[in-house]
Amino acid sequence: MPGTPLLVVDAANVMGARPDGWWRDRAGAVRRLLPALSRGLSGDDGDVVLVLEGAARKGADVGVVDGVRVVHAPRSGDDQIVDIVSAATAADGGRPVTVVTADRGLRDRVTALGADTMGPRTLWERLDRGPE
């Protein structure tokens, strides 16, 4: 039986999918994204991990915020996401993992590890609809 689903969110890609001025205040964009994730997802989505890199790390401390686990990438957010996916699929032997990103290279890397992918626009549509 597969483990609890894991949704890994590439914050830079998701924030970049909405032209709301996120580039002027990346930390503020994170502070808007976190509550949207916690309100808009259901228990069926499983565990949610938000990966922050660069200036966006100032938007939230590492840990669990509103039910979302926040991870700071020390360098590349893509490499951090690959590490998370690799650990999850190895440790839980078939845990369903979905990565939210528009980055083709990252998509290739995580699908090679057995993860599914979702585009940022699809995630925003789900967040705007709310939990099902």
List the Cα angle 97/103/104 in 5-degree steps: 90
Residue among 49, 25, 52 at smallest CA distance from 37 = 49
Numbers of helices and strands, H then E, in the chain: 5, 6
pLDDT single digits (tens) 29-74: 999 999 999 988 877 788 999 999 999 999 999 999 888 999 999 9
pLDDT single digits (tens) 74-104: 989 999 999 999 999 887 566 899 999 999 9
pLDDT single digits (tens) 11-32: 999 998 887 777 788 899 999 9
pLDDT computed for residue 64 by the predictor: 94
R_g of the chain computed on alpha carbons: 14
Domain boundaries, the chain: 6-127
pLDDT computed for residue 2 by the predictor: 63
CATH 3.30.1760 fits 6-127, yes or no: no
Three-state SS at 23: helix
Three-state SS at 119: coil
